[in-house]
Structure 1
Amino acid sequence: MGLNMAIHLDAHELIVLGDSDLLIRQAQGEWETRDIKLILYKQCLEDLSKRFKSIEFRYIPRFHNELADALATLALMLPYLGNAYIDPLEIQIRNQHGHCSTIEVEPDGEPWYHDIKRFLKTKEYPIHADGDQKRTIRRPSNDFFLSGEILYKRTSDLNLLRCVNTQEAKMIMNEVHSEVCGPHMNGYVLAKKILRAVHY
């Protein structure tokens, strides 16, 4: 699809960047394409490549491919309606990433899950809780699991997610945004990675 777009834009010289070492080496002809399902794609690639004055395939590691990740995120956010015209994008590269993480602190200084944890441990409600508030604590408590002092939430596929307090949440967010957990990626994958950081 990318090569067809370049042809329609009347490009004559092209550099193709890909984050799959296998596919780039196959496109370069360094490695053989053996999968029967891919042979037709390889032939199509060779036919399209002949329409350029020069074409070069380069491997780029995924963690160096932040622009592609950003464009993929943008593509997921914007619906494309068939033949609708899309204005060209002007992209400016910043020296550092911008991010904002807002984590609210509970007024009483306790973590958000404090009442659920206490209910699981002692079957007690907060002193001034009315009927609705007690029900609000009791109902979700069925989805939580207490192991020692650590509270986990059960997911629909029966995995456990560790509940974290404000300080732990800030530490996780800082690690993710400083790329300790790997490179930046689109929003959905980044959220899954944060969940995996507290997933047991």
Structure 2
Amino acid sequence: MLNIKNHTLLICGQSIQLPHLVKPATVKVWRVPTDYRADGIFVSVTSVGEPEEVPACDLRQCELIGKADLDPHPDAVLAEAKVRKKEQIEADRDAACVQPVTALGRTWQADKRSQELLASAITIAQAGGPLPAVWRDRDNQDMPVTSIADLLAIAGAIAAQTQAAYAASWARKAAVDAAVTVDDVDAA
């Protein structure tokens, strides 16, 4: 059996730091010719589901000294959990940005296409072009547009919703960054 402590392999008077992996792995140690490796030792670490690395020399001249299971490294597991959680937070944020909004006593769609149309209508009106006669709400009811302020009110509601979504995501990401356990990450 191999001597592994704190993800460090102790073999033949050497200390070999093993990789910090997210998945369980198998460590194998081979005695190999010194013209292949000066210290005569070849160590392979193979994660579950990955191809096994073996010495790239004549295997008839090699001897398998031992093998052992290597548990996932807690720091790697925590780091991976943080990456996954931040991806989830960004997806949640992006979904929140396009939820319908309320302005002028109506509910408006805030998806990307609706935002593009609204921005275009505002730009044209601000440049002196005509206002649209109506703007259609989420329920497909037309609202007469009496001034650019009507369009700006809808755009303002979307902007406020977007800012709130980003602020919430920043707070959640800060909690993820501060997390010291996977449970803390999951709770963020």
Structure richer in strand, relative to its length: 2
Q: TM-score, normalised by structure 1?
A: 0.25
Report which of the two structures shows the higher radius of gyration computed on alpha carbons: 2
